[in-house]
Structure 1
């Protein structure tokens, strides 16, 4: 995931959202739905992609809020 995109994930018993490339979460706490809403707003503000992971760390969903289409092979 490119630096600047947003990741919402579960770690140490809490839901968190952070900017990819950062070592620390920008927001911590709440339910998955609440933290997903925080991450969505962060991604919209940055015109970035938002990756939402499940409790086990697997990607559950991705949403893009700008810079479409991504030019990636796959």
Structure 2
């Protein structure tokens, strides 16, 4: 079974990072950039995808730090 990815999101005015599927954040507070750094570090350590959500909840960016199942076509 694949490891869950990491997501950075805003909830009630607070930026948080959590493993997807968990209801509890492993890191909270600070700016969006600070939480992105926390989420990126965890995703690199776990070798999984990091999803960064915008303030409205839409996906702003996705970065893969592991075995990417969908690599860019120009990087083959």
Q: Which structure: larger Rg?
A: 2
Moved over 6 A (4+): none
* Residue number in structure 2 paired with 1:57: 57
In the superposition, the TM-score normalised over structure 2's length comes to 0.86
Give the number of aligned pairs.
70
Pair 1:18 & 2:13 matched: no
Gap runs ≥5 in structure 1: none
Contact 1:17 1:26 in 2 (8 A): yes
CA-atom RMSD, angstroms? 1.6
Alpha-carbon distance between aligned partners in 1 of 2:70 and 2:45, rounded to the nearest angstrom: 18
